[in-house]
């Protein structure tokens, strides 16, 4: 029943490009892009409570892969290559760092973005002597939209599956108390590594799919650390421990950013900063959790009345 509803919703969304103009479609692309990143981020960071700021490192790798390979390989193979690169990097990084905890992990993942960016720059400057690559693929916005929609559906399906499966439970136990988890016989590192890799591959694909929209790619464009922060805020707003939480956080925030930059182009940063503070103070567990607690309070009131 739920599956049927999800499929109908997906099908309906697939017709959006023929119904709306270019600008709403652009908005939808942005929402899907951030929705995917936030959902993928929460896939790993929600249950484990490891705040990762490496989102844009994978996102940028995906975009760069397309820029480098799009003229030599057919497009589906380019996407596969991007996924493979994302996976390899995630495994390497994960093996080295997932034993870190708390603030050390946050700082490491932030540094990782800069590391990847500098490595790509170093390679381009010293080996290929081109910085800035052109992506000329015959894709209009609707093609990018459909690909992103498919990726979002896949991401939500994976997130749904993880919640039902043993590995999801294992990760929640790890997030609650790693010591208890290891005493229960959970192979902590392997569980974390698996989810970190899945999440990273999705982020890489999100970058790869969106690259043709920008035509021109250089490290400062695709490895923009702001993206990582926005994704965290979106997931936190919606609630990282719920299936649709990150997506529901991404939608209002994305529209809000759009509205702010259109109507307050000169005060954007100030208003944004105030909003972030407000989110953390007013909705520390996310919108969905806040809705639940309000509902619980109402029922309690009714019960006592």
Partner 1 sequence: MTNLSRRTVMQGLGVGAMATALAGLPVFAQDRTAIRIGYAISKTGANAAGAGITTTPNYLLWVDDVNKAGGIKLSKLGVTLPLEVTEYDDRSAAEETVRAIERLATQDNVDLILPTWGTGANLAAGPTFDRFGYPQLAATAVTDMAPQLAARWKHSFWMLGGGHDYANALVELLVKQRDAGTINNKVAIASVADGFGIDLSKAATPAFTEAGFELVYDKTYPLGTSDFAPIINEVSGLGADTFVAFSYPPDTFALTQQAVVADFSPKVFYLGVGTAFPIYPGIAGPNHNGVMGVGGIDPDSEAVAAYFERHIALNGQAPDSWASAITYASLEMLQQAIERVGDIDREAISAELSSGEFDTIIGKVKLVDNQLRSLWTVGQWQDGKFVGLAHTERDGSRDPVVPKPDWVPAT
Residues lying near partner 1 in the complex (CB under 8 A) are found at 21-23, 25-27, 30, 33, 118, 121-122, 124-126, 129-132, 134, 136, 140, 210, 213-216, 218-221, 224, 226, 252, 255-256, 258-263, 265-266, 268-269, 278, 282-283, 290, 294
Tokens at 204, concatenated: 């890489």
Residue 131: helix, strand or coil by DSSP? coil
Tokens at 64, concatenated: 């760069």
Pairwise CA distance, residues 124 & 220, whole Å: 13
Min separation Cβ 216 and partner 1, Å? 3
Q: Which of 23, 15, 13 is nearest to 141 (CA)?
A: 23
Tokens at 118, concatenated: 């500098």
Nearer to partner 1 by Cβ, of 13 and 137: the residue is 137
Min separation Cβ 177 and partner 1, Å? 29
Q: Which of 95, 78, 72, 68 is nearest to 200 (CA)?
A: 95
Nearer to partner 1 by Cβ, of 16 and 218: the residue is 218
Min separation Cβ 121 and partner 1, Å? 5
Nearer to partner 1 by Cβ, of 122 and 161: the residue is 122
134 strand-pairing partners: 216
Nearer to partner 1 by Cβ, of 7 and 125: the residue is 125
Min separation Cβ 223 and partner 1, Å? 11
Are 246 and 152 in contact, with CB atoms under 8 Å apart?
no
Min separation Cβ 140 and partner 1, Å? 8
List Cβ neighbours of 266 (8 Å cut-off, separation of 6 or more): none
Nearer to partner 1 by Cβ, of 88 and 275: the residue is 275
């Amino acid at each position: 029943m739920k599956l049927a509803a999800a499929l109908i919703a997906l099908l309906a969304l697939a017709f959006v490009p023929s119904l709306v103009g270019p600008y709403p479609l652009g908005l939808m692309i942005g929402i899907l892009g951030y929705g995917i990143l936030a959902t993928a981020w929460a896939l790993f960071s929600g249950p484990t409570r490891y705040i990762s700021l490496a989102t844009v490192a994978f996102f940028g790798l995906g975009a760069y892969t397309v820029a480098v390979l799009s003229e030599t390989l057919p497009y589906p193979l380019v996407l596969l290559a991007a996924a493979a690169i994302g996976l390899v990097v995630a495994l390497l990084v994960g093996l080295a760092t997932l034993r870190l905890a708390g603030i050390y992990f946050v700082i490491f993942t932030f540094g990782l973005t800069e590391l990847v960016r500098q490595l790509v720059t170093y390679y381009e400057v010293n080996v290929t002597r081109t910085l800035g690559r052109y992506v000329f693929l015959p894709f209009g916005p609707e093609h990018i939209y459909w690909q992103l929609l498919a990726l979002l559906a896949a991401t939500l399906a994976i997130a749904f599956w993880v919640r039902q499966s043993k590995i999801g439970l294992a990760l929640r136990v790890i997030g609650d108390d790693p010591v208890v988890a290891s005493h229960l016989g959970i192979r902590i590192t392997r569980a974390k590594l698996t989810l970190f890799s899945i999440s990273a591959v999705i982020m890489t694909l999100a970058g790869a799919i969106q690259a043709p929209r920008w035509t021109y790619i250089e490290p400062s464009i695709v490895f923009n650390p702001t993206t990582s922060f926005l994704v965290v805020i979106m997931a936190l707003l919606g609630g990282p421990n719920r299936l649709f939480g990150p997506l529901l956080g991404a939608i209002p925030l994305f529209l809000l950013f759009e509205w702010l930059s259109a109507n307050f182009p000169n005060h954007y940063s100030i208003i944004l900063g105030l909003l972030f503070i407000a989110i953390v103070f007013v909705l520390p567990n996310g919108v969905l959790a806040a809705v639940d607690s309000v509902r619980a309070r109402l029922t309690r009131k009714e019960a006592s009345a």
